[in-house]
């Protein structure tokens, strides 16, 4: 079932490429949207069949390269299931949003479908090499999306993105090899490694492996100081690419912390948790402050991603503090971090798609070029407002639930760090309100670039179809998060147990 | 020592190749020019039969031939299959370009003889036979490099020849010194005696020996011929020169490390590690701003040899070394040939910028190029990824973590120049240099790409077959 879920998009992508070139583009669109819908349906079916008691389900284990300790091992649990669902939702939203994409549509759709395979594959992988394969292929696919469909400076941004994240992935690979060699018998299997805990009692070795793994994941997440690839990649990528990049690809890093770093290196993680916490706080504050200084709307959203990812890093670091804090609080922090991944994916996805709407009309992201859009494009204004408020963590939206859990869970173990991080909320509130006032309020002002019509039509049907469901889901999660938390909570307790060994 | 074993069936692949080369030469004297491709067909048949014979031999227990000078063990068997498989691909690359060429049959004969030399180098465990293999690989290759008889071709051949002759003499000198130090040339008797021999003597001999083998492998510091020779010779010849001799040389290095020099006074792992580090780093740095595709690939092969030397450095220290090297060699050979096949398929596109618009005009060929180049980087799931994974694991296991980190950093750096080639290929453009293309070379590119990905996915059954012990 998982295998079908993972590889079906690539199969469809190959089919798309193999179709004769006379095929009307309408048919290609139908194929893409149908596939994305079917994938979402499949995830819903998986969710429906998932027992909330926890543990890995839908597990499949097959031999792949046994002599190298590599196996095809997939499965879902409470950490990965929400991210699988998020992936399918976002890819469907991007498929709908991109219905009017007219530059080389066939290749565009095929790349997105392939990218969907890599994202889903990563979240179901229970083998380090399988994880790495999907991790790397996602970089390749995203490179081509940015380079092929990005804005004018896309080549440089794509190259920077590729080089940075590839360095990260190789650091990750070295860490994985370290884990592999430490285990007896040598294996890359995450479940076996978790059970074995091969680096227990070998502190220097474990510290090196942890360093490699953390660098790899931190680049992908991205956290300060490895975040510099993110703003150009986001600014130059096409809207749907940015949405996937921020919504799904960044989660690969944070998910890796929960799936690999914490369970496989519990001793080292506990020892160096304070470093993680500091990185988290710095990311929160630095991301928010730099976002505050941006004049480019998309760059600003990109930097708020650094900020939001920082909360997750804070939570996973704080959860490791063993000193006299209740397990319940720490479990809350981990649950919050998973919720934040889902919530950030939805909200930032929506924000980037809205930025795409803006660019499509005005050919620039510069906020000072716009003004008073609320008058001509009320729906756009309303949705942007909603997304911005969701992003700054207003109650009623999913971001509030996630951040509330993170702060409540982290306050006990790390009071100072948490107090500092709360300032991040204040800063993001300020910057979003400022941006909203600039773009939406006041007298009407539109960019006057040559070739742009001086009108700002309101959202079109395909843009509605892409953006509205994301915001509806954030509200649903904000009002009734129980169905999500029920899935996550057993898994986060399990992570804590593994960490406490 | 067992009794002399001279059963020619044990070396059937080599015999087939030699027979086909000699017979091809005779045949060529009788064939009209339009029919000379039959010689190529004969060569392909010999290579195909050789692969079958090698596979059959691989299933049997290890044997030695010619006393103990030549051994048939997993290293030999794998090298045979890889060399002959690569030879098949190279022959296909030659087919179109040399069709009805005045010296068509001579090309096929020379390629076969050179490949035979690589096979001898891979299987030998005697220094004298190693020298013979070296000369047999080199001399036909010198001729091939200058086959175009134009300025760059002559320069290519001359550079190749002068450096090869010099290092070959050094190698013979080294062998002499080692013979003096160990009083034997066969590895099984030489290895134990060298540990008692004077260290200086062994070191001097080993350095001379290494000079020759590293020349064949194209590793720093014996790499100076690579860029000029690759750029100056025709593309199929360049594909051949950067692939097949290397396979023999690396197998020979593995054997030397394992059986002869690992326990001697010479600091084998350190020396190889330094050479590996220098090869990958210098190769990469030099490749950065190359504009000529063949030159870029030439420097890329220098850096690849650096990664290939990782397992050689830890031979004897890690059980993973031998399968890692053998697998990586196969992966490298097929991926490198794939990239060269794309170059052969587009004879008029010589600079990176000429590839602009390839994705539009020839989507499949551009997909092959992208997959092969990313494969050379080591992107999963291509074969080089598994090769690198194994090589890195072996090196860390053998205590060379710093070298592995350097290799990882180099891998990232190498991305830069491969992407410099991929970027124009996938961006829009008119692609005037891409108009005529060679169909058989395209076929080779697709085949090599498929094998490269297939080998990566099917590493499961392949890897265990490479792990058997050396027959020493």
- Number of domains, chain A: 1
pLDDT score of A447:
80
Buried b (16+ CB within 10 A) or exposed e, A245-268: bbbbbbbbbbbbbbbbbbbbbbbb
> B386 and A132 in contact by Cβ < 8 A?
no
Chain A residues lying within 8 Å of B459, measured CB to CB: 64-65, 68, 70
> A155 and B423 in contact by Cβ < 8 A?
yes
Residue A34: pLDDT over 80:
yes
* Nearest residue of chain B to residue A165 (CA atoms): B412
Where is pLDDT greater, at A449 or B302? Answer: B302
Q: Is B453 on the interface with A (CB under 8 A)?
A: no
Dihedral angle sign, alpha carbons of residues B366, B371, B376, B378: positive
> A174 and B405 in contact by Cβ < 8 A?
yes
> B460 and A181 in contact by Cβ < 8 A?
no
Residue-wise pLDDT for A233-289, tens only, equals: 998 999 999 999 999 999 999 999 999 999 999 999 999 999 999 999 999 999 999
Note down pLDDT in tens along chain B; length 472 residues.
445 566 777 888 999 999 999 999 999 888 888 888 888 999 999 999 999 999 988 888 888 887 788 888 889 999 999 999 999 999 999 888 887 788 888 899 999 999 999 999 999 989 999 999 999 999 999 999 888 888 888 988 999 999 999 999 999 999 999 999 888 888 888 888 888 888 888 889 999 999 999 999 999 888 889 999 999 999 999 999 999 999 999 999 999 988 888 777 788 889 999 999 999 999 999 998 889 999 999 999 999 999 999 999 998 888 889 999 999 999 999 999 999 999 999 888 888 888 888 888 888 899 999 999 999 998 888 899 999 999 999 999 898 999 999 999 899 888 889 988 988 888 877 777 777 678 888 999 999 999 999 988 888 777 777 766 543 3
> B412 and A166 in contact by Cβ < 8 A?
yes
pLDDT score of B191:
83
Cβ count near B375 (within 10 Å)? 31
- CA B367 to chain A, closest CA, distance in angstroms equals 12
pLDDT score of B99:
78
Residue-wise pLDDT for A335-364, tens only, equals: 999 999 999 999 999 999 999 998 888 888
* Three-state SS at B315: strand
Closest CA to B368 of B350, B346, B351, B353: B346
Range of the domain at A73: 2-499
Q: Beta A57-65 vs A70-76: how paired, if at all? A: antiparallel
| Phi, psi dihedrals of residue B51, rounded to the nearest 5° | -65, -45
| Phi, psi dihedrals of residue A189, rounded to the nearest 5° | -75, 125
- CA B323 to chain A, closest CA, distance in angstroms equals 10
Chain A residues lying within 8 Å of B405, measured CB to CB: 174
Chain B residues lying within 8 Å of A174, measured CB to CB: 392, 396, 404-405, 408
Residue-wise pLDDT for A83-100, tens only, equals: 999 999 999 999 999 988
Residue written as token pair 């071709």 = B153
Distance in angstroms (rounded) separating the CA atoms of residues A41 and B63:
59
Where is pLDDT greater, at B461 or A290? Answer: A290
Residue-wise pLDDT for A194-234, tens only, equals: 998 888 888 889 999 999 999 999 999 888 888 889 989 99
Identify the residue among B376, B389, B406, B418 best suited for mutation to test binding to A, counting A beta carbons within 10 A and taking the highest: B389
Q: How far is CA B285 from CA B296, B305, B418, in A?
A: 11, 14, 12
Among A129, A170, A208, the residue with its CB nearest the CB of B411 is A170
**Encoding tokens for residue A127?**
């083998």
pLDDT score of B289:
87
Q: Is A168 on the interface with B (CB under 8 A)?
A: no
Q: Is the peptide bond before A476 cis (omega within 30 degrees of 0)?
A: no
Three-state helix/strand/coil letters over A475-491: HHHHHCCHHHHHHHHHH
Distance in angstroms (rounded) separating the CA atoms of residues B359 and B361:
6
Residue A321: pLDDT over 80:
no
Cβ-count burial of A492 within 10 angstroms (0-12 exposed, 13-18 middle, 19+ buried)? buried
Q: What is the mean pLDDT of residues A433-461?
A: 81
Q: Which segments of B314-356 does DSSP mark as H helices, in order?
A: 321-345
Rounded to 5°, the CA angle A394-A398-A399 comes to 55
pLDDT score of A454:
63
pTM greater than 0.95 (yes/no): no
Cross-strand partners of B266: none
pLDDT score of B5:
62
**Encoding tokens for residue A437?**
């006032």
Cα Rg, chain A, nearest whole Å: 22
> B397 and A181 in contact by Cβ < 8 A?
yes
pLDDT score of B60:
83
What are the domain boundaries of chain B?
1-265, 267-472
pLDDT score of B472:
37
Distance in angstroms (rounded) separating the CA atoms of residues A285 and A280:
9
Check: CB of residue B459 under 8 Å from CB of residue B61: no
> B393 and A177 in contact by Cβ < 8 A?
yes
pLDDT score of B285:
92
pLDDT score of B195:
81
Element (H, E) at A108: helix A105-124
Q: How far is CA A79 from CA A57, A116, A306, A489, A493, in A?
A: 12, 18, 21, 9, 11
Closest CA to A328 of A409, A263, A417, A436: A409
pLDDT score of A451:
59
Distance in angstroms (rounded) separating the CA atoms of residues A319 and A414:
9
pLDDT score of A26:
87
Distance in angstroms (rounded) separating the CA atoms of residues A434 and A427:
11
Cβ-count burial of A204 within 10 angstroms (0-12 exposed, 13-18 middle, 19+ buried)? exposed
Distance in angstroms (rounded) separating the CA atoms of residues A27 and A499:
50
DSSP state of B148: T
Q: Is B412 on the interface with A (CB under 8 A)?
A: yes
* Nearest residue of chain A to residue B428 (CA atoms): A148
Residue written as token pair 């077959």 = B465
Rounded to 5°, the CA angle A390-A395-A400 comes to 65
pLDDT score of A450:
62
Q: Beta B63-65 vs B70-72: how paired, if at all? A: antiparallel
């Amino acid at each position: 079932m998982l295998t079908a879920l993972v590889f079906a998009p690539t199969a469809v992508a190959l089919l798309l490429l193999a179709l004769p070139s006379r095929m009307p583009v309408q048919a290609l669109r139908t194929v893409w949207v149908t596939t994305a819908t079917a994938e979402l349906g499949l995830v819903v079916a998986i969710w429906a069949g998932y027992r909330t008691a926890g543990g890995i389900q839908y597990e499949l284990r097959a031999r792949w390269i046994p002599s190298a300790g590599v196996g095809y091992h997939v499965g879902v649990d409470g950490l990965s299931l929400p991210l699988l669902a998020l992936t399918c939702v976002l890819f469907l939203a991007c498929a709908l949003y991109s219905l009017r994409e007219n530059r080389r549509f066939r290749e565009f759709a095929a790349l997105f479908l392939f990218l969907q395979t890599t994202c889903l594959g990563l979240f179901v992988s229970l083998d380090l090499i399988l994880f790495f394969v999907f991790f790397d292929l996602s970089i390749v696919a995203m490179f081509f999306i940015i380079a092929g469909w990005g804005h004018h400076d896309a080549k440089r941004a794509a190259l920077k993105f590729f080089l940075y994240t590839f360095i990260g992935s190789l650091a990750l690979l070295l860490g994985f090899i370290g884990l592999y060699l430490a285990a007896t018998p040598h294996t890359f299997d995450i479940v076996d490694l978790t059970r074995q805990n091969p680096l227990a009692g070998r502190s220097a070795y474990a510290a090196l492996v942890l360093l490699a793994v953390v660098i790899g994941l931190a680049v992908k997440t991205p956290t300060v100081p490895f975040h510099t690839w993110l703003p150009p990649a986001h600014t130059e990528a096409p809207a749907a690419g940015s949405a996937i990049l921020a919504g799904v690809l960044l989660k690969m890093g944070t998910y890796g912390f929960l799936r690999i770093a914490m369970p496989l290196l519990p001793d080292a993680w506990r020892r160096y948790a304070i470093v993680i916490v500091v990185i988290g706080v710095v990311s929160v504050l630095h991301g928010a402050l730099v976002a505050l200084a941006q004049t480019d709307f998309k760059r600003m959203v990109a930097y708020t991603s650094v900020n939001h990812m920082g909360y997750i890093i804070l939570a996973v670091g704080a959860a490791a503090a063993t000193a006299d804090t209740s397990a319940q609080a720490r479990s809350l922090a981990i649950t919050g971090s998973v919720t934040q991944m889902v919530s950030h994916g939805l909200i930032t996805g929506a924000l980037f798609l809205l930025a795409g709407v803006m660019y499509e009309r005005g050919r620039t992201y510069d906020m000072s070029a716009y003004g008073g859009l609320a008058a001509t494009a009320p729906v756009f204004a309303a949705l942007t407002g909603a997304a911005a408020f969701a992003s700054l963590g207003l109650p009623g939206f999913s971001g509030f639930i996630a951040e509330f859990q993170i702060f409540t869970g982290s306050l006990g173990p790390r009071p100072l760090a948490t107090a500092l991080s709360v300032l991040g909320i204040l800063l993001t509130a300020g910057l979003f309100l400022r941006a909203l006032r600039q773009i939406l309020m006041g007298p009407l002002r539109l960019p006057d670039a040559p070739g742009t019509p001086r009108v700002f039509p309101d959202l079109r049907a395909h843009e509605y179809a892409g953006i509205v469901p994301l915001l509806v889901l954030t509200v649903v999660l904000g009002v009734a998060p129980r169905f999500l938390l029920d899935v996550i909570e057993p898994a986060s307790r399990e992570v804590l147990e593994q960490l406490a060994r | 020592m067992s009794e002399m074993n001279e059963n020619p069936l044990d070396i059937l692949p080599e015999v087939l190749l030699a027979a086909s080369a000699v017979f091809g030469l005779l045949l060529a004297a009788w064939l009209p020019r339009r029919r000379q491709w039959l010689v190529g067909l004969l060569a392909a048949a010999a290579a195909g039969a050789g692969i079958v014979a090698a596979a059959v031999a691989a299933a049997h227990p290890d044997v030695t031939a010619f006393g103990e000078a030549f051994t048939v063990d997993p290293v030999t068997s794998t090298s045979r299959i890889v060399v002959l498989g690569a030879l098949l691909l190279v022959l296909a690359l030659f087919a179109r370009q040399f069709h009805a060429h005045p010296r068509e049959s001579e090309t096929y004969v020379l390629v076969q003889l050179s490949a035979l030399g690589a096979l001898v180098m891979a299987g030998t465990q005697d220094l004298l036979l190693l020298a013979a293999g070296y000369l047999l690989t080199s001399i036909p290759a010198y001729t091939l490099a200058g086959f175009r008889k134009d300025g760059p071709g002559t320069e290519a051949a001359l550079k190749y020849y002068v450096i090869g002759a010099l290092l070959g003499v050094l190698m013979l000198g080294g062998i002499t010194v080692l013979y003096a130090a160990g009083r034997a040339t066969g590895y099984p008797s030489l290895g134990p005696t060298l540990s008692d021999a004077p260290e200086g003597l062994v070191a001097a001999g080993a350095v001379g020996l290494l000079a020759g083998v590293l020349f064949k492998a194209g590793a720093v510091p014996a790499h100076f011929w690579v860029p000029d020779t690759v750029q100056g010779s025709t593309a199929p010849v360049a594909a051949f020169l950067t692939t097949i001799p290397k396979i023999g040389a690396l197998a020979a290095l593995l054997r030397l490390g394992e059986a002869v020099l690992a326990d001697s006074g010479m600091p084998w792992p350190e020396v190889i590690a330094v050479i590996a580090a220098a090869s990958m780093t210098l190769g990469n740095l030099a490749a950065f701003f190359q504009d000529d595709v063949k030159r870029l690939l030439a420097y890329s092969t220098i850096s690849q040899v650096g990664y290939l030397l990782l397992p050689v450095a830890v031979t004897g220290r890690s059980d993973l070394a031998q399968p890692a090297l053998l697998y990586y060699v196969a992966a490298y050979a097929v991926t490198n040939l794939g990239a060269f096949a794309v170059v052969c398929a587009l004879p008029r596109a010589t600079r990176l910028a000429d590839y602009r618009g390839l994705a539009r005009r020839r989507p499949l060929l551009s997909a092959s190029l992208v997959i092969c180049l990313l494969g050379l980087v080591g992107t999963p799931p291509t074969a080089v990824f598994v090769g690198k994974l194994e090589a890195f694991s072996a090196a860390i296991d053998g205590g060379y973590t710093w070298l592995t980190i350097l290799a990882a950093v180099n891998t990232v750096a190498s991305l830069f120049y491969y992407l410099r080639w991929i970027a124009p290929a996938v961006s829009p453009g008119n692609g005037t240099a891409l108009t005529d293309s060679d169909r058989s070379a395209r076929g080779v590119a697709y085949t090599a790409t498929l094998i490269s990905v297939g080998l990566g996915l099917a590493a499961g059954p392949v890897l265990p077959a490479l792990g058997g012990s050396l027959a020493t």
